[in-house]
Amino acid sequence: MVACADLAHWDRLAMAGDPDALAGLVREVLPRVGPSYRPFGAEDLVAAVVERVPELEMSARFGWMETTAPVGGAAPGAGWLTEAEWPEVTALLTESFPDSYAWPGAPGVRRWAGIRDGGGRLLAVAADAWSTAGIGFLAGVATRREARGRGLAAALCGFVTDDLLDGRERVALLADYDNVAAVATYRKLGFLTRPVAAARQALRFAT
């Protein structure tokens, strides 16, 4: 178990191993790090730990999607943005994806890529966020509402994925199962899905 602050928007307790042992660790660690930390891992493992720790409840189930192979898709106009352009990213996210975990300037969010139209208007964005030496992490993928359905997100994700994969083992992202269109796009790009989940302090135990 590893405690990580501000990892993909939340304070997380990344878990792997035996659920009985992890249940004991959770009971010991949570009082030390505080209730903001959310146990996170494979869905069946998190569910097993929650069964053993009544102070917890499941908070979210979603997909960990990853690829180890370059996408190789052409992405005309896609490129990395400068920090001077980040206010435009914030405006696009506010309008078209306010639930994004990644925002310009947030902890671990390193850089943003984008695609513009012929007039220079930013149409789609994606972030390099919370990446490590071995795993590139893709987040904050959003397309302006009126520009959706044109394959811009797929093209931009292809560009970012291939760039992040250079020198790394894999590229990953977290996908909400309810976002059917996004999940379908990532699968077409070659991303495979593993079910993961997060837990939190049960409301009945909250102070």
Q: pLDDT, tens digit, for every residue of 89-103? A: 999 999 999 999 999
Q: What is the average per-residue pLDDT within 133-157?
A: 94
Residue 204 has pLDDT above 70, yes or no: no
**Confidence at residue 105, expressed as pLDDT on a 0 to 100 scale:** 95
Which of the four pLDDT bands, split at 50, 70 and 90, describes residue 166? very high
* Domains annotated on the chain, with CATH: 2-63+195-205 (3.30.110), 70-189 (3.40.630.30)
* 175 contact partners, CB below 8 Å, separation of at least 6: 62, 63, 65, 182, 183, 186, 193
Q: Which residues contact 73 (CB under 8 A, 6 or more apart)?
A: 154, 155, 158, 159, 189
Return the SS3 of 34. Answer: coil
Mark 33-64 as b/e (b = at least 16 C-beta within 10 Å). eeeebbbbbebebbebbbeebebbebbbebbb
pTM (2 d.p.): 0.87
